[in-house]
Amino acid sequence: MSQLFEPLQIGTLRLANRIIIAPMCQYSAVEGTPGDWHLVHLGHLALSGAGLLILEATAVLPEARISPGDLGLYDDTNEAGLARVLGAVRAMSPIKIGMQLAHAGRKASSHVPWQGGRQIRPDEPQGWRAVAPSAVPHAPGEDAPLALDAAGLQRIRQGFADAARRAARLGLDGIEIHAAHGYLLHQFLSPIANKRDDAYGGSLENRMRFPLEVFDAVRAAFPADKPVWARISATDWVPGGWDIDGTVALSHALKARGCAAIHVSSGGVSPQQAIKLGPGYQVPYAQRVKADVGLPTIAVGLITEPEQADAIIANGEADAVSMARAILYDPRWPWHAAAKLGAQVVAPPQYWRSQPREFKDLFENAAFGAR
């Protein structure tokens, strides 16, 4: 019996199976507002049979975007655009949909990846001055960000809370707070980016303070019967950087505040990172968080094979797997996995006739006739 296709409870949210579509920036929004690309992109992912679809990093303020093309949820136009896209997607699929709320911090104001991804300097067209815990650039030679003062921190807490209220109005099933990959909240956690000497820098407790304040703001602004969770980089892959012990401490603190799950990724804060890549390379970090903290834990990173994903769940290494590149490459990955593992998956009735002869019970409730 496949464990990957067992239901999972994340707080009050019940997922039909343990396959999660990881957030993936599309850099295709206009002033934060999604368009037809999102309709097509999310539309096909929504037909995948996965248990949860997490929308791409969604900026809580205009200056929180990584690139000028990032999705945002900071104004009424963004909200209306998302309402249109989500309305269409929901009409086609029962998939649960979460949203990743994000602030890019010092990695803001970048070109989109297919234009090289380098920093857009504040005085260049479409560029802006980034903000960060400290005036330390991400990479040597880049323009330094502005170190956040008390008013700046308040604007960001407020931005997260306001976006969470908009997400609630849009009927999102859950919120993931992006505290990974070297973006703003991770910048606070990591001694590599956080050089502050006030209550938000120095000790582990101080470096965790702002991410926890943001969690509290989002948790208070989003309906209590829907989950809020966090994505964390478990290590910076740089000696002296953020590490797994900090990740466990942060996860405990989040749990005490009502966090529903931890999504365990890694890296992103420093160009000096030396990542040890390989199949499931971040799973041991998820396993440590799950064992020590006991919250539902999501593993991610080079999980590409059905048997591999199933074993991660069966061995108790994580409660769910999330996938990005493999499911972008093959948006029917959960169908193929269910077929391989002898499980069932939800498919739209329009496609039921595609069920291969040898997998007669693959699609849940499938039945069709003709005269």
Ligand X SMILES: Cc1cc2nc3c(=O)[nH]c(=O)nc-3n(C[C@H](O)[C@H](O)[C@H](O)COP(=O)(O)O)c2cc1C
Residues lying near ligand X in the complex (CB under 6 A): 22-25, 56-57, 100, 178, 180-181, 231, 265, 300-303, 323-326
Sequence-ordered list of residues with C-beta below 8 angstroms from that of 285, at least 6 positions apart, any chain: 234, 235, 244, 247, 264, 266
Closer CB to ligand X, residue 56 or residue 317?
A: 56
Angle at 48 between CA 337 and CA 357, to 5 degrees: 55
Contact between residue 281 and residue 265 where contact means Cβ atoms under 8 Å apart = no
Closer CB to ligand X, residue 96 or residue 178?
A: 178
Taking alpha carbons only, the member of 149, 150, 139, 156 closest to residue 103 is 156
Closer CB to ligand X, residue 22 or residue 46?
A: 22
- Going 138 to 298 to 327 to 310, the CA torsion angle's sign is positive
183: annotated active-site residue: yes
- Assign 293 to helix, strand or coil: helix
DSSP letter string over 148-182?
P-HHHHHHHHHHHHHHHHHHHHTT-SEEEEEE-TT
Closer CB to ligand X, residue 318 or residue 323?
A: 323
Closer CB to ligand X, residue 89 or residue 362?
A: 89
The residues that bridge with 233 in the sheet, in sequence order, are: 265
H/E stretch holding 221 reads helix 204-221
- State in angstroms the smallest separation of the CB of 354 from ligand X: 25
CB-CB neighbours of 203 under 10 Å: 9
- State in angstroms the smallest separation of the CB of 358 from ligand X: 28
Which tokens sit at 278?
């390989």
Sequence-ordered list of residues with C-beta below 8 angstroms from that of 181, at least 6 positions apart, any chain: 231, 233, 265, 267, 268, 269
Closer CB to ligand X, residue 23 or residue 69?
A: 23
Active-site pick, 183, 200, 281, 329? 183
- State in angstroms the smallest separation of the CB of 308 from ligand X: 11
Which tokens sit at 175?
């919120």
Amino acid of residue 346: V
The bridge status of strand 8-10 relative to strand 13-15 is antiparallel
- State in angstroms the smallest separation of the CB of 202 from ligand X: 27
Helix runs in 257-350, H state only: 283-293, 306-314, 325-329, 333-341
Q: Phi and psi at residue 168, in whole multiples of 5°?
A: -65, -45
- State in angstroms the smallest separation of the CB of 312 from ligand X: 12
- State in angstroms the smallest separation of the CB of 257 from ligand X: 21
Distance CA 24, CA 85 (A): 16
- State in angstroms the smallest separation of the CB of 260 from ligand X: 17
Strands (E) across 89-234 are located at: 96-102, 131-132, 146-147, 174-179, 228-233
Closer CB to ligand X, residue 181 or residue 226?
A: 181
**Catalytic residue numbers?**
183
